[in-house]
Amino acid sequence: MYVLPDEGEGVGMKAGDLRHRVTIQYQKPPEQQNSFGEVANAWQTLATVWAQVDVVAGNEQVQNERWLATATHNVQIRRRTDVLPKMQVVYGSRTLDILSILEPNHPGDPMTLACVEVI
């Protein structure tokens, strides 16, 4: 029999829910320009963690006279204090830009990274 948690108590996250391996990356500040005067944006690995990756929605729109396809994802991970918006999640060959972070309501609950992927 399943018992609902008491109010003020988190449901928590089971290890089996975290079945996707993802890498969280941050953008390293530019150090120098290349021979064309461009600044290279290097991404550094912050952490590789287990996550639950869910596709929420897809969208297509015309932007600058071109079709742009995007997919919105929710990535749930165990709570961390070092993850910030403007970082990215690498999931296999996909790169997901973190738009916002939904903090857990209760200890043990996962944090959710609201992400977008440009396809």
* pLDDT per residue rounded down to tens, the chain (119 residues): 444 444 445 556 666 788 999 999 999 877 667 777 777 778 999 999 999 999 999 888 887 888 888 899 999 999 999 999 999 999 999 999 999 999 888 888 899 999 999 88
Q: Which helix (H) or strand (E) holds 90?
A: strand 88-91
Q: Please check whether the domain covering 15-118 is classified as CATH 2.40.10.270.
A: yes
Q: Quick count: other Cβ atoms within 10 Å of Cβ 110?
A: 21
Give the per-residue pLDDT at 86.
92
For the purposes of burial, counting CB atoms within 10 Å of the CB of 49, is it exposed (0-12), middle (13-18) or buried (19 or more)? middle
Whole-number pLDDT of residue 2: 45
